[in-house]
């Protein structure tokens, strides 16, 4: 790739702006708000954009209502989305009407509308349900290559040709497994291990412990892309916040591997952009 920084310029700016409005929402009245609802295995994230598709508010909560892309606690999911919606409405002093949601790769036929019903059940008018890689690429704007989303529960791969998703694959193994490995190695509870893992100060120390699970993720990626002429890999998802994960994946897959400054909120923002 000629200039990786230029490629991630829009993404990095959008995510930086979003991180700011999570703590300090922008209260200038917009004629309309677009909300992206990302129902993940580890987090539920709501990203709110204004009429110009700029981030104005956001909220997220740790939740166990989705497993491997499927809603396993339907009532719990509605409750959390409703609470986050209300919290953001109070902060913005405006009603959030429209929302888009996304499905992980490979679950589109299995989901039977559950994610859409959760978002509707929380009081939104659902304008779009799209697949997660397409959402992520609304922010990354990649023409060719593989987008790999390493989230809490799964590793999802999307192959892009001329800016369009031509193939998707998803497999269980994600950040939850990383936390389980730390929990075992350090004799910590899962919650403590997850928190320890999320602290950037600990990443260097954790690398030897996490290397085998990163290599397993790399072998999943290699399998997902083997029938395609992929020349570059782009990482998104919270687990890719781990410093150095891109180097191990690059070495194992033998492909240049890039990630934006903060890979965590790329998909929720892409969902909101498609609202």
Q: Can you give the binding site for ligand ATP, defined by CB under 6 A?
A: 38, 40-43, 66, 104, 151-154, 174-176, 179, 194, 197-198, 200, 237-239, 241-242, 264
Q: How far is the CB of 81 from ligand ATP (least distance, A)?
A: 14
Q: How far is the CB of 42 from ligand ATP (least distance, A)?
A: 3
Alpha helices per DSSP H over 154-231: 175-186, 190-198, 203-225
Backbone angles phi, psi at 242, to 5 degrees: -55, 125
Q: How far is the CB of 266 from ligand ATP (least distance, A)?
A: 8
When computed from its CA atoms, the radius of gyration of the chain, rounded to whole angstroms, is 18
* Nearer residue to ligand ATP within complex by CB, 144 or 188: 188
* Nearer residue to ligand ATP within complex by CB, 197 or 224: 197
Q: How far is the CB of 34 from ligand ATP (least distance, A)?
A: 19
* Nearer residue to ligand ATP within complex by CB, 65 or 78: 65
Q: How far is the CB of 263 from ligand ATP (least distance, A)?
A: 8
Residue 114 burial (10 A CB sphere; 0-12, 13-18, 19+): middle
* Nearer residue to ligand ATP within complex by CB, 25 or 152: 152
* Nearer residue to ligand ATP within complex by CB, 36 or 175: 175
Distance CA(243)–CA(114), nearest Å, equals 34
Residue among 117, 112, 111 at smallest CA distance from 99: 117
DSSP string, 81-108: HHHHHHHHHHHHTS---EEEEEE-TT-T
Distance CA(107)–CA(244), nearest Å, equals 30
CA 269, 270, 271, 272 torsion-angle sign = positive
Q: How far is the CB of 168 from ligand ATP (least distance, A)?
A: 13
* Nearer residue to ligand ATP within complex by CB, 50 or 132: 132
């Amino acid at each position: 790739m000629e200039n990786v920084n230029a490629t991630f310029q829009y993404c990095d700016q959008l995510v930086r702006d979003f991180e700011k409005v999570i703590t300090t929402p922008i209260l200038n009245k917009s004629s309309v708000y677009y909300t992206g609802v990302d129902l993940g295995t580890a987090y539920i994230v709501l990203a709110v954009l204004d009429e110009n598709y700029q981030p104005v508010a956001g909220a997220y909560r740790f939740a166990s209502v989705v497993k491997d892309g499927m809603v396993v606690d339907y009532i719990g999911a509605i409750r959390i989305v409703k609470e986050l919606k209300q919290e953001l409405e109070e902060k913005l002093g405006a009603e959030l009407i429209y929302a888009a949601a996304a499905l992980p790769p490979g679950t589109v036929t299995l989901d039977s509308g559950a994610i859409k019903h959760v978002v509707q059940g929380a009081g939104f008018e659902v304008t779009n349900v799209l697949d997660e890689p397409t959402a992520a690429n609304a922010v990354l704007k990649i023409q060719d290559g593989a987008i790999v989303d390493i989230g809490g529960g799964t590793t999802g791969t999307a192959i892009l040709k001329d800016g369009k998703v031509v193939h998707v694959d998803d497999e269980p193994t994600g950040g939850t497994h990383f936390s389980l490995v730390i929990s075992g190695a350090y004799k910590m509870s899962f919650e403590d291990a997850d928190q320890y893992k999320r602290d950037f100060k600990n990443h260097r120390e954790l690398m030897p412990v996490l290397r085998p699970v990163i290599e397993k993720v790399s072998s999943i990626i290699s399998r997902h892309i083997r029938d395609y002429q992929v020349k570059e890999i782009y990482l998104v998802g919270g687990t890719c916040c781990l410093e150095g994960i891109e180097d191990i994946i690059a070495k194992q897959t033998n492909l240049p591997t890039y990630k934006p400054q903060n890979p965590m909120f790329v998909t929720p923002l892409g969902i909101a952009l498609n609202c």
